[in-house]
Structure 1
Amino acid sequence: MSASKKKCRQYSVEYIKYGFIPSPTNKQLPMCFWWGITLSNEAMKPSRLSEHLSKKHSDNARAEVSYFQSLKEKFEKRSIVTTMFKASQKLVDKGLEASYKLSLLIPRSGKPYSIGEQLIKPAVGEVIKTVMGQDPNPVLSSIALSNDSVARRIDEMSSDVEDKLCRELRSTHFAIQLDESTLRDSVALLLCYVRFIHDQEMVEEMLFARSLQTDTKGSSIFQTLEKYFTDKNIPMENILACATDGAPAMVGRQRAIIALLKNQVPSVFAIHCVVHRQHLVEKALSTRLHTSLQTVIKAVNKIKVSSLHDRLFRQLCQENDEAFERLLLHTEVRWLSKGACLTRFLNSGRVSVGN
């Protein structure tokens, strides 16, 4: 025979005189006013509830029903406030999450940090008000997108990404690439990239960018690299290879960074950067290619040196429906501009050259 089902007792309004109300989470369970504890459904009967009142809360055993009713009203008000607080806290948490996500989109788009307050928040407010038909103020007030807030969010996220990368480098072997360059305001900057295998996939990340306070000698570069590895507890022995641009401060035999690095890690493999190899190749162009390039450079300089020539050339391109109306200057410093300069000259100046 199957076991008989247990009787499910229902709450009665009369149980309030025993100091019990239905539990907010389950209406079939009685909950005590004072302790906030919930009894089982089997205890939902007058004898059990009265016994609890007399034993646990004897001071209130002879109280009037109005007293218990006032306690119930206070409890309900407190529950409403608690619910509102939880909803408000949830909105604040969601707003904080949205603030971090929007702060990540701003630098990816290359826009200034002030665009958060100037454009993003007003745009979000218009979307909420127009599409959803709701008051946007509660949502917008929970999203911090001021210039300082966005900068702080970006710093926190970048620090977290850097910490994760450093934790990975402490337990794996990797190759580094070093590049030293000078900015427009004469600040010497050292860039370091790492490449390693993670989950059978090649990963390449930028490790750090540090300014060189004084000179750009090999010893200064090595001290900057060594200090970073020491601060982040990354073993220098994990470096398998080091790629450089071939500058004397990088590959010299005595005081260059490769020599200093090999003193600590003798097995490190030094290699010339692939991109800078192309730079070396283009230094020895054939006579025919060199002559063609110099002809193009002279023609471009002839047009760009004069504002009148530039306007006339632009008008010529407009009359012939050319794809481009401006030419690109070639510089020896930015050697990759050679291909762009030749391509633009071909696409925008073929008519003038033909004539």
Structure 2
Amino acid sequence: MKQQQEATHEYMKKLCDIFLCLGRQGLSIQGDREGTKSDNRGNFLEFCHLFAKYDSSFESELNQKISYTSPKIQNELIETTATVMKEEISKRIHKSSMFSIIIDEARCFKEEQMSIVLHYSENLHPQENLIGFVNCSKARDSTSLAAAITDVQNYLHVKGMVMVAQSYDGASVMSSKHNGVQAKIKEQHPQAIYIHCMGHRANLVITDACSHI
């Protein structure tokens, strides 16, 4: 039993290494069809079977009835990895003692997703980390969006820390100094100056310039 536990432990470590490698390279994890008859079962399973080709112990575990490679297990690996990464980011921000936030929205099929990026300094070197996406399809008013940002701060345990800046696009719901998201965040973080995202400003300039050609 002890030998089996050690073998399973080593097998799981290799599964996690494959998973983390795909994440670092920005590659998708799952495939559309992961059955044995599929020509492409997705990057995760294809890498697993590549490993098995050169590692007999890994192949033996992979061919077991319970191989820990199902879509449900893959989703659990994604959630676990995300939790560990967010905890690490939280620790780094606490060491920095201050941070800024960068928010943007994008439509994904029928959903409106809000991306959340935290910017902080680590040994005087600027760092940016994408925390994740928040589904804001149901309500996109300034109160709801500001509440979603606060929820993320609570999750990372950084709400009580100093936020020195906030960067969004120029839409009134975000930029209004009276009732926009930036105004509501300033109620919690008076030091958080609002900066109109440079990327969005450049896009406006280019669009306007092209319209006069």
- Helix, strand or coil for the counterpart of 1:126? helix
Alignment CA distance shift 1:231-1:122 (3 Å): closer
**Displacement after TM superposition at 1:252 (Å):** 0.8
Equivalence for 2:27: 109
Alignment CA distance shift 1:135-1:269 (3 Å): closer
Segments of 5+ residues of structure 2 without an aligned counterpart are 35-41
TM alignment of 1:13-92, pairs within 5 A: 85-92=1-8
Question: Is 1:206 matched up with 2:130?
Answer: yes
Match for 1:137: what amino acid?
Answer: S
1-structure distance, mates of 2:77, 2:62: 19
- Helix, strand or coil for the counterpart of 1:214? coil
Question: Is 1:262 matched up with 2:186?
Answer: yes
Equivalence for 2:93: 169
More strand as a share of residues: 2
1-structure distance, mates of 2:172, 2:85: 33
- Select 1:248's aligned residue among 133, 153, 172: 172
| Contact map agreement 2:169 2:196 (CA 8 A) in 1 | yes
Alignment CA distance shift 1:207-1:139 (3 Å): closer
1-structure distance, mates of 2:58, 2:145: 56
- Select 2:12's aligned residue among 88, 92, 96: 96
| Contact map agreement 1:195 1:203 (CA 8 A) in 2 | yes
CA offset digits 1:230-287 (Å, max 9, x no partner): 3433135421001111110011122101111222222221111111111121133178
| Contact map agreement 1:194 1:205 (CA 8 A) in 2 | yes
**Displacement after TM superposition at 1:93 (Å):** 1.4
Alignment CA distance shift 1:207-1:236 (3 Å): farther
- Tell which has more relative contact order, 1 or 2 (C-alpha 8 A, sep 6+): 2
Alignment CA distance shift 1:139-1:257 (3 Å): closer
Match for 2:87: what amino acid?
Answer: D
- Helix, strand or coil for the counterpart of 2:208? coil
Alignment CA distance shift 1:118-1:194 (3 Å): closer
TM-score scaled to structure 1, two decimals? 0.50
More helix as a share of residues: 1
TM alignment of 1:114-153, pairs within 5 A: 114=34, 115=42, 119-128=46-55, 136-138=59-61, 141=64, 144-153=68-77
- Helix, strand or coil for the counterpart of 1:175? strand
Segments of 5+ residues of structure 1 without an aligned counterpart are 1-84, 292-355
Match for 1:94: what amino acid?
Answer: E
1-structure distance, mates of 2:73, 2:58: 24
- Count residues with an aligned counterpart: 200
TM-score scaled to structure 2, two decimals? 0.80
**Displacement after TM superposition at 1:117 (Å):** 7.6
Alignment CA distance shift 1:249-1:103 (3 Å): same
CA offset digits 1:265-320 (Å, max 9, x no partner): 22221111111111121133178xx43xxxxxxxxxxxxxxxxxxxxxxxxxxxxx
- Helix, strand or coil for the counterpart of 2:166? strand
Alignment CA distance shift 1:118-1:209 (3 Å): closer
2-structure distance, mates of 1:280, 1:214: 27
CA radius of gyration, larger in:
1
